[in-house]
Amino acid sequence: MTKIADKPRSMPQGHVRLPAHELIYRQLRALVLFGDLAPGQPVTIQGLTDLLGAGMTPVREAIRRLIAEGALEFQGNRRVCVPHLSADNIGELILVRQWVEPHLAHCATAHATAEDLKQLTALDDELDAAIDRGDLRAYLESNYRFHKVVYDIADAPILAELADGLWLRFGPSLRVVFGRLGTQNLPDNHKAMLAAMAGGDGDGAAAAMRKDVAQGMELVRMALTGGRSLR
Amino acid sequence: MTKIADKPRSMPQGHVRLPAHELIYRQLRALVLFGDLAPGQPVTIQGLTDLLGAGMTPVREAIRRLIAEGALEFQGNRRVCVPHLSADNIGELILVRQWVEPHLAHCATAHATAEDLKQLTALDDELDAAIDRGDLRAYLESNYRFHKVVYDIADAPILAELADGLWLRFGPSLRVVFGRLGTQNLPDNHKAMLAAMAGGDGDGAAAAMRKDVAQGMELVRMALTGGRSLR
DNA sequence: GCGTCTATAATATGATCAAATTATTTAACG
DNA sequence: CGTTAAATAATTTGATCATATTATAGACGC
């Protein structure tokens, strides 16, 4: 296992000093979100202290946080791992996302400024570029960031946190499933959504969002039920 | 500040030894959920180590977990407190609860055994008794446990965790708001719900649940918008 | 196979360091 | 001379680490 970072003895004066547990949390979160840790993979404290060059305390806190968010699973004994998704789990996630994401898209449409739309368009361009390059990792990141910005615009912090948290649950599977499909067949209803938002059509944006979510999640569901078991 | 527990030097042999951070988490969670910590009240690590007779590490982990669940708020600097609810927050909570709780009630109706209904009836009796006694704390606990059991029966772990997590956000305000009303005017649509569940009427149970949630949350909303500020 | 032993990893403590708030002093101004 | 404001000191509290303890998994012998 390779080291990602050395322990910084003296901080090289980044503008704001973020506490170590926060940094570790963000790194570990990204590892889960973009599928660098596969479902079922065990997560150990000491493994992460070596990998990220951090002390035990910050690593412990980051792991606890991610367990609370459902990104990691505490296995009764004292082992922690990235959870597998069951078919039932996927069904629940589809249900929640199909309710909450259109709602947020609707709110976002009401609040979006020209500046916001520009930012979303730029992110969607990045996403297209990633698809053309066949760069799965970049696709996953751009796609996530697009949705994240929509949440922020919607100005509904509790719903946004809820929607954001769900990504941690299906992120690991997304990587596995989409990896088998190639980047050409991935869902992208963002342009229809942007058009609706630009026209102030909240219902249209919500419908586009629902379609986007439904397509993506359905691919995961099919892979987990139809295909051979991932376990 | 009075001590709740002494540090147990040797465990008095409870059957299963739960780790300290888990015990601390549950105690602190209950303190938030039932309003023993008021909105705005600061939560310090060292205060809790004294109050609960625990070391710093377990307390830190418990606090992190509760922050991740939205029960506590990290205030930029490094202070932690019980969050205040804004009118917008309440609006979001009403929206989510009115969607998810009826859904869970519907699922629960499909899965409920005679045993389950017996347990729910017993909990509802406790709730009635608490109302008669004018015992607010017991009402809050019985009410929560009733809903919690419905979640468990529904057999939808992700939705259940979601619904359960929301309680932490409005729990502190519930205590404040209901404390002003007296126990006679509190919502209780559990009997209609139980009747529907017993008859296998999922839609009826969902409707009763929606009504129960709407009544309770509306009281909180009115108190927070209409009444003088709680701050 | 079953029980015991050992190695490994998690849990928990207290000490140490750093940051932030509060209290106190000092200085400036009306 | 009193009041206010700035600067500084003191205290509280959070962050991190090194280390000791404890529990679990896997290996070994029976």
Nearest nucleotide (C1') to the CA of residue B42?
Answer: D13
Question: What is the C-alpha separation between B198 and A95, in angstroms, rounded?
Answer: 26
Tokens of A39: 């479902």
Mean pLDDT of B59-77: 92
* Element holding B48 (H helix, E strand): helix B45-52
Asked whether residue B156 falls in the same domain as residue B198, the answer is yes
Query: Which pLDDT score is estimated for A205?
Result: 97
Asked whether residue A63 falls in the same domain as residue A28, the answer is yes
- Find which of A59, A64, A107 to mutate to test the B interface (most B CBs within 10 Å of its CB): A64
Neighbouring C-beta atoms of residue A177, cutoff 10 Å: 20
* pLDDT, greater one: B163 or B10: B163
Let me know if residue A8 belongs to a domain.
no
Identify all chain B residues contacting A21, using CB atoms and an 8 Å cutoff: 64
Query: Which pLDDT score is estimated for B230?
Result: 41
CA of B17 to C1' of D6 (A): 55
Let me know if residue B27 belongs to a domain.
yes
Q: Per residue in B186-197, pLDDT tens?
A: 888 999 999 999
Flag if B162 and A161 touch (Cβ within 8 Å).
no
Identify all chain A residues contacting B162, using CB atoms and an 8 Å cutoff: 96, 162
Q: Per residue in B43-55, pLDDT tens?
A: 999 999 988 888 8
| Full residue range of the structural domain in which residue B41 is found | 20-81
Inter-axis angle of helices A20-33 and A45-52, nearest 10: 100
CATH no. for residue B69? Answer: 1.10.10.10
Asked whether residue B132 falls in the same domain as residue B150, the answer is yes
CB of A97 closer than 8 Å to CB of A163:
yes
* pLDDT, greater one: A72 or B9: A72
Mean pLDDT of B24-30: 94
Query: Which pLDDT score is estimated for A16?
Result: 57
Asked whether residue A111 falls in the same domain as residue A169, the answer is yes
Let me know if residue A1 belongs to a domain.
no
Let me know if residue B1 belongs to a domain.
no
Tokens of B158: 């992700």
Q: State which of A81, A109, A129 marks the end of a domain.
A: A81
Q: Per residue in A55-79, pLDDT tens?
A: 999 999 999 999 999 999 998 788 8
pLDDT band at B96 (very low <50, low <70, confident <90, very high): very high
CA of A14 to C1' of D7 (A): 27
- Among protein residues, the one whose C-alpha sits closest to the C1' atom of D12 is B46
Mean pLDDT of B146-174: 96
Share of chain B above pLDDT 70, in %: 90
CATH no. for residue B127? Answer: 1.20.120.530
Tokens of A213: 């979510």
Residue of chain B whose alpha carbon sits nearest to that of A155: B88
CB of A125 closer than 8 Å to CB of A194:
no
Asked whether residue A203 falls in the same domain as residue A102, the answer is yes
Q: Which nucleotides of D are covered by protein (CB under 7 A)?
A: 13-19, 23-25
Let me know if residue B2 belongs to a domain.
no
- To the nearest whole Å, the CA of B78 is away from the closest chain A CA by 10
Cβ of A55 near strand D (under 7 Å)? The reply is yes
Strands A80-81 and A73-74: antiparallel
Identify all chain B residues contacting A78, using CB atoms and an 8 Å cutoff: 19
Asked whether residue A73 falls in the same domain as residue A91, the answer is no
CB of B145 closer than 8 Å to CB of B123:
yes
Flag if B159 and A92 touch (Cβ within 8 Å).
yes
Let me know if residue A230 belongs to a domain.
no
Tokens of A15: 């503008």
> Which residues neighbour A228 within 8 Å (Cβ) at sequence distance 6 or greater?
none
Query: Which pLDDT score is estimated for B108?
Result: 97
CB of B56 closer than 8 Å to CB of B49:
yes
* pLDDT, greater one: A1 or B93: B93
Asked whether residue A69 falls in the same domain as residue A109, the answer is no
Asked whether residue A106 falls in the same domain as residue A157, the answer is yes
Let me know if residue A190 belongs to a domain.
yes
Asked whether residue B30 falls in the same domain as residue B95, the answer is no
Asked whether residue B70 falls in the same domain as residue B155, the answer is no
Q: Which nucleotides of C are covered by protein (CB under 7 A)?
A: 9-15, 19-21
CA of B97 to C1' of C8 (A): 45
Query: Which pLDDT score is estimated for A229?
Result: 44
Question: What is the C-alpha separation between A163 and B16, in angstroms, rounded?
Answer: 36
Number of domains in chain B: 2
Asked whether residue B70 falls in the same domain as residue B93, the answer is no
Digit-by-digit pLDDT tens for chain A (231 residues) are 333 343 333 333 334 578 889 999 999 999 999 999 989 889 999 899 988 888 999 999 999 999 999 999 998 788 899 999 999 999 999 999 999 999 999 999 999 999 999 999 999 999 999 999 989 999 999 999 999 999 999 999 999 999 999 999 999 999 988 888 877 778 889 999 999 999 999 999 999 999 999 999 999 999 888 754 444
- Compute the mean pLDDT over every residue in chain B, rounded to the nearest whole number: 88
Q: Which residues of A touch B (CB under 8 A)?
A: 19, 21, 57, 60-61, 64-70, 78, 88-89, 92-93, 95-96, 99-100, 103, 156-159, 161-162, 169
Let me know if residue B186 belongs to a domain.
yes
Tokens of B115: 């045993």
pLDDT band at B12 (very low <50, low <70, confident <90, very high): very low
Query: Which pLDDT score is estimated for B85?
Result: 93
Q: Compute the C-alpha angle B1/B3/B4, nearest 5°.
A: 125
Asked whether residue B24 falls in the same domain as residue B122, the answer is no
Query: Which pLDDT score is estimated for A13?
Result: 39
Mean pLDDT of B191-215: 96
Mean pLDDT of B129-145: 93
Query: Which pLDDT score is estimated for B51?
Result: 87
